[in-house]
Structure 1
Amino acid sequence: NLGDVSYDDTTGVLTVTGNFTGNSASPPQVDADASAVEIQNLINAEDGFSASGTTVAGTQALPADVTADVAFQIDAIAEGSEFNNVQIQFVDLDDAAADDAATASFDDEQKILTVTYNSQAATPTNRDYAAIATAIDAVQDDEGNNLFTSTNNSGANAFVAPEPPLTTGNSGGEVLLDDLVFQLNGASGAETFNFAGGTGQDQIAAAINLVSDSTGISAGTTTGQLQFTSTAYGSEALINIDVINEGTSGTFESSLAETRATGVDIVATVNGVEANGRANTLSINTSSLDLEVTVDDGSSANFSFSITGGGALFQLGPDVTSNQQARLGIGSLSTGQLGGANGRLYELGSGQAKSLTNDVNGAASVIDEVIDKVTSLRGRLGAFQATSLESNLVSLNETLANLEEAESSIRDADFAQESANLTRAQILVQSGTNVLSLANQNPQNVLSLLG
Structure 2
Amino acid sequence: MSRINTNVQAMLAQRVLAMQNNNLSTSLERLSTGLRINRGKDDPSGLIASENLRAEISGINAAMGNAQRAEQVVNVAEGALQEISNMLVELQGLVGSTANDAGVSKEEKEANQLQIDSILQAIDRIANTTSFQGTKLLNGNYDYQVEGVDTSELNMIQVNSARMSSGNPIAVDVDVQQAASNGTLFLSTATDSLTIELSGNEGVQQFTFAQGSTLADMASAINTFEDALGVTATVDGTQVRIDSVGFGQDAFVNVKTLDGDNVVYDSDGVADTDGMLKEYGGDAQVSINGIQAVTSGLEARVATDGFDISVTLGSINSVDGSSSFSISGGGADFNLSPSVSLAGKVSLAFQNVSSGNLGHTWTSSGELTSLTDLKSGGASNVVNGDLARAQSVVDSAVKEIATMRGRLGAFQKNTIQTAMNSLSIALENTAAAESSIRDTDFAFETAALTRQQILSQAATQALLLAKSQPQSVLALLA
| TM-score, normalising length: structure 1 | 0.46
Q: Which has the higher helix share?
A: 2
Higher relative contact order (CA 8 A, sep 6+): 2
